[in-house]
Amino acid sequence: MNVEQRLRFSPQCLWGLVNNAGVCVNLGDAELSLMSNFRGCMEVNFFGTVSVTQTFLPLLRQSKGRIVNISSPAGDQPFPCLAAYGSSKAALNLFTETLRHELQPWGVKVSIIQPSSYRTAPSSNNTYWEQKHKQAMQNMSPALLEDYGEDYMKETVNLFHTFSKHANPDFSPVIDTIVQALFSPQPQARYYAGPGLFLMYFINSYCPFSIRNRFLQKIFLKKTLMPRALREQSGQEVNRGLHNNNNNNEEKLQQQ
């Protein structure tokens, strides 16, 4: 019995569930992220998917249907400034993999889709990024603001804005992959929707840490500023080195 025959035979059944809801509550270093930011990402990206999936699993087991969860490479790789978002997607990845094993005896196929970077409506809006920067500044303690610096925070938001401008506006690769995961006779456990993902995962899986780190910085946030405290510390070390060199030169002159 094919998919269409099953649906005609049992109009009350549910064949496919696609969990696509996802949010990125904040953008910034993990130390600068409130616990509410982590909880917000987990609530939607992880707990929301778990809740919806549990609700519809009885129907999906009856139809021997499909579950497709939309995740992110940030759940597999350490993208800077996305600790809250990436952690929630990592939890989603493990939940999906576990679910796939558990539902295999029931005949339910479970797939996960890892899209590359796509341009969503909020990320193309300048006001959106200004609000993100304003929220980050309001939530920072004076001590953290002193250590990191407002210019460091501003650069992070600007880099995210620039990155989003170059994201793909065409969602058709993701849509095509969802359709394939739902209706393929033997769906894959994982799908990668978009260009560059195979290279990214290959480098992350098989290359040394130094190469992985350099590649991640090249394709994601190309930060030029260090936190203010590190810049001041670096400047003090340079001045100390110059002072020591001057003292050594003076001692040599005196000896001559």
In order along its 256 residues, the chain shows pLDDT tens digits of 454 554 454 556 799 999 998 888 777 899 998 899 999 999 999 999 999 999 999 999 999 999 999 999 999 998 888 999 999 999 999 999 999 999 999 999 999 999 988 877 666 667 777 787 788 888 889 999 999 999 998 898 888 888 887 788 888 999 999 999 999 999 999 999 988 888 888 888 888 988 888 888 777 778 889 999 999 998 765 455 544 555 555 555 555 5
- Per-residue pLDDT at 247: 53
pTM score, two decimals?
Answer: 0.82
- Per-residue pLDDT at 121: 62
- Per-residue pLDDT at 120: 74
- Per-residue pLDDT at 137: 84
- Per-residue pLDDT at 170: 87
- Per-residue pLDDT at 93: 97
- Per-residue pLDDT at 185: 93
148 catalytic? Reply is: no
Spatial distance between the Cα atoms of 164 and 1, rounded to a whole number of angstroms: 44
Active-site residue, from 85, 148, 152, 192: 85
Full set of structural domains in the chain with CATH? 3-118+169-213 (3.40.50.720)
